[in-house]
């Protein structure tokens, strides 16, 4: 058991070296950007989620990872954990530095991150590298209250931004994440 | 068999890049997968390495065997340095031999802390092969490793993979040109348009094929495989006609399958 855990940590460390050394600039930028409190954080979480496994898939860098002894499940989990670790640590530091009045809304960020990690991965697997549709979805979610208020009344319940009904929003995000996992791990029509 | 494909088909879009292929690779052998561009060699290797999943059929790997894969045009992250990947491979392959890796890099003049994106194609190719050679993986897979190498380094690579095979590893190498492995391959698998047209032990292939002039009359008792320039390749163990090289045999089967 100890050996298994030790081996798992070694493998995660190997993944982290590839991610952090290979894309140092963008990861550093997003880390600092995510410290900033306020609604802009959602935009940076979106940017981060689309730069993780979805970008690795769409830019065909996944071939590099799959040529190493990583399973697809491992890559999915490592990438997701790595992304949320950045959000968690950057938000915690940002909260300690600039925003100690209110407690950080980690669950809210997790729901948003899981939703867009799933959406952008599905998009990368099925369509391609330009993240136009996920961006439009984010924009529509943001402004739907002004455009179609009737729709907003329903969508805001599970919307990853508004999360009026947080358990429902969490369920929707997790469902999308699960779909993206199944498509990535068991899909046979690879785009790489 | 250490690793094998059983009735594997792989489809990209509408193209059947691997068409119902069954082939196995043994330990202690240098196996060469040969064919023209687009024949399906890289897809086969990617299936063997676990990078792709078959649309039908299955890839069977002996339990516990670790695969090391060096692929053509390695698509590394731009920021990665050679030392980063050395650390990554040390973490992932317990038997990774850093001393051997450093020595291999120095043979081709690759600096130990170079940015991978700054390396030339030949250096990248050698770097990828060096990682696999130092990994001590049970199954070593190389996709077109000779493509960018000069003749001196090519000879060195062939010597290294021969040694790995002699030490009991399963070594699988793809190449456009079988002539490079004429004297070192133990097993040959030839592909044409996604189909396996030839698979066999080199010694057996060499002893069971002969060349005849194209114009000569050949008895119907002999199986004509296909044309090779002005001659025809025949399957026979009789000491007749001209002795065929491995290159002739592969050409005969590929030409025979296209005609």
In a domain, B202, yes or no: no
* B203, part of any domain: no
Number of domains in chain B: 2
On whether both B135 and B182 belong to a single domain, the answer is: yes
d(CA B187, CA B62): 19
Rounded to 5 degrees, φ, ψ at B172 are -125, 125
Mean pLDDT of B171-177: 94
Same domain, B20 and B87: yes
Instruction: Report the pLDDT averaged over residues B197-216.
Output: 90
Are B107 and B60 in a shared domain?
yes
Task: Write the pLDDT tens digit of every residue in A98-109.
Answer: 877 777 789 999
Does the CB of B66 have a partner CB in chain A at under 8 Å? yes
Q: Are residues B176 and B237 in the same domain?
A: no
**B49 interface with A at CB cutoff 8 Å:** yes
Q: How far apart are CA A96 and CA A108, in angstroms?
A: 18
**Chain A residues near residue B92 by CB distance under 8 angstroms:** 10-11, 14, 68-70
Show residues of chain B in contact with A22, CB under 8 Å. Answer: 76-80, 84
For residue A66, is it within any domain? Answer: yes
CA-based R_g, chain B, Å: 19
Task: Verify that B38 and B57 share a domain, yes or no.
Answer: yes
Residues B181 and B96 occupy one common structural domain? yes
Asked if A67 lies within 8 A of B69 by C-beta distance, the reply is yes
Check A13 against B80: CB less than 8 A apart: no
Reported as a single tens digit per residue, the pLDDT across B82-101 is 899 999 999 999 899 999 99
**Which residues of chain A have a CB within 8 Å of the CB of B87?**
14, 17
In chain A, what residues touch B84 (CB-CB under 8 Å)?
17-18, 21-22
CB-based contact A64 B69, cutoff 8 Å: no
More confident residue, B92 or B72: B92
Instruction: Note the pLDDT of residue B192.
Output: 95
| Mean local confidence (pLDDT), B178-206 | 95
A114, part of any domain: yes
The answer to the question of residue B14 being in a domain is yes
Distance CA(B140)–CA(B89), nearest Å, equals 14
For residue B157, give its domain range. Answer: 3-197
Contacts of B82 in chain A (CB under 8 A): none
Pick from A17, A60, A67: CB nearest B84: A17
Distance linking the first and last C-alpha atoms of chain B: 32
Q: Is the pLDDT of residue B74 over 70?
A: no
Tokens coding B193: 């348009």
Does residue A192 fall inside a structural domain? no
What six digits make up the tokens of A31? Answer: 């880390």
Q: Does B51 touch chain A (CB under 8 A)?
A: yes
- Residue B112 within a domain: yes
At which of B145, B177, B197 does a domain end?
B197
Check if B58 contacts A (Cβ < 8 Å).
Answer: no
Q: Is residue B251 part of a domain?
A: yes
Residue A89: which domain range? Answer: 2-187
DSSP 8-state secondary structure symbol assigned to residue B65: P
Residues B27 and B149 grouped into a single domain:
yes
pLDDT number for residue B199 = 96
| Chain B residues close to A21, C-beta within 8 Å | 77, 79-81, 84
Assigned domain for A180 exists: yes
Q: With cut-offs at 50, 70 and 90, classify the pLDDT of residue B109.
A: confident
Q: Give the integer Cα–Cα distance in Å for B252 and A186.
A: 39
Domain end point (choices B197, B224, B246): B197
Tens digits of residue pLDDT in A121-160: 999 999 877 788 899 999 988 888 777 777 778 888 989 9
Integer angstrom CA distances of residue A23 from A26, A46, A56, B90: 6, 17, 11, 20
If asked whether residues B159 and B229 sit together in one domain, one would say no
Does residue B212 sit in the same domain as residue B186? Answer: no
Residue that is last in its domain, among B197, B222, B243:
B197
Q: Are B240 and B210 in contact (CB under 8 A)?
A: yes
pLDDT at B73: 59
Q: How confident is the model at residue B223 (pLDDT cuts 50, 70, 90)?
A: confident
Structural domain contains residue B34: yes
Chains A, B: CB contacts within 8 A come to 69
Residues B49 and B160 in one domain: yes
Q: Is B91 within 8 Å of A64 when comparing Cβ atoms?
A: no
> Does residue A175 belong to any structural domain of this protein?
yes
Residues B192 and B234 in one domain: no
Domain tally for chain A?
A: 1
Between the alpha carbon of residue A169 and those of residues A94, A110, A164, B109, B161, the distances in Å are: 25, 11, 8, 56, 55
Do B212 and B177 share a structural domain?
Answer: no
Residue B59 CA neighbour count, 13 Å, CB half:
20
């Amino acid at each position: 058991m100890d050996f298994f855990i030790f081996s798992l940590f070694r493998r995660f460390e190997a993944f982290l070296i590839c991610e952090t050394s290979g894309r140092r600039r963008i990861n550093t930028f997003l880390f600092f950007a995510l410290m900033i409190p306020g609604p802009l954080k959602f935009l940076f979480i979106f940017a981060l989620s689309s730069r993780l496994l979805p970008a690795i898939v769409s830019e065909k860098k996944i071939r590099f990872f799959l040529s190493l002894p990583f399973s697809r499940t491992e890559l999915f989990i490592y990438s997701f954990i790595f992304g949320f670790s950045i959000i968690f640590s950057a938000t915690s530091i940002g909260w300690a530095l600039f925003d100690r009045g209110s407690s950080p809304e980690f669950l809210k960020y997790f729901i948003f991150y899981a939703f867009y990690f799933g959406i952008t991965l599905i998009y990368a697997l099925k369509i391609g590298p330009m993240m136009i549709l996920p961006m439009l979805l984010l924009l529509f979610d943001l402004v739907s209250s002004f455009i179609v208020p009737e729709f907003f009344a329903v969508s805001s319940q599970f919307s990853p931004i508004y999360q009026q009904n947080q358990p429902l929003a969490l369920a929707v995000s997790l469902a999308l994440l699960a779909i993206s996992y199944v498509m990535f791990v068991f899909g046979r029509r690879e785009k790489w | 068999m250490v690793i094998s494909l059983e009735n594997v088909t792989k489809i990209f879009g509408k193209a059947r890049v691997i068409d119902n292929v069954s082939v196995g690779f043994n330990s202690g052998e240098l196996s060469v997968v040969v064919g023209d561009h687009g024949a399906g060699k890289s897809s086969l290797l990617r299936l063997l390495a676990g990078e792709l999943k078959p649309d039908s059929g299955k890839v069977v790997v002996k339990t516990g065997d670790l695969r090391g894969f060096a692929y053509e045009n390695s698509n590394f992250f731009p920021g990665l340095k050679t030392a980063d990947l050395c650390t990554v491979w040390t973490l992932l392959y317990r038997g990774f031999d850093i001393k051997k890796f450093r020595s291999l890099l120095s043979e081709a003049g690759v600096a130990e802390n170079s940015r991978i994106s700054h390396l030339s194609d030949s250096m990248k190719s050698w770097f990828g092969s060096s990682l696999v050679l130092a990994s001590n993986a049970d199954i070593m897979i190389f996709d077109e490793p000779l493509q960018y190498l000069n003749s001196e380094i090519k000879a060195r690579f062939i010597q290294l993979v021969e040694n790995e095979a002699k030490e009991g590893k399963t070594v699988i190498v793809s190449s456009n040109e079988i002539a490079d492995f004429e004297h070192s391959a133990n097993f040959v698998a030839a592909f044409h348009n996604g189909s396996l047209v030839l698979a066999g032990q080199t010694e057996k292939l060499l002893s069971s094929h002969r060349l005849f002039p194209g114009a000569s009359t050949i008895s119907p008792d002999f199986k004509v495989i296909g044309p090779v320039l002005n001659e025809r390749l025949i399957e026979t163990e009789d000491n007749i006609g001209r002795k065929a090289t491995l290159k002739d045999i592969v050409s005969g089967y590929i030409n025979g399958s296209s005609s």
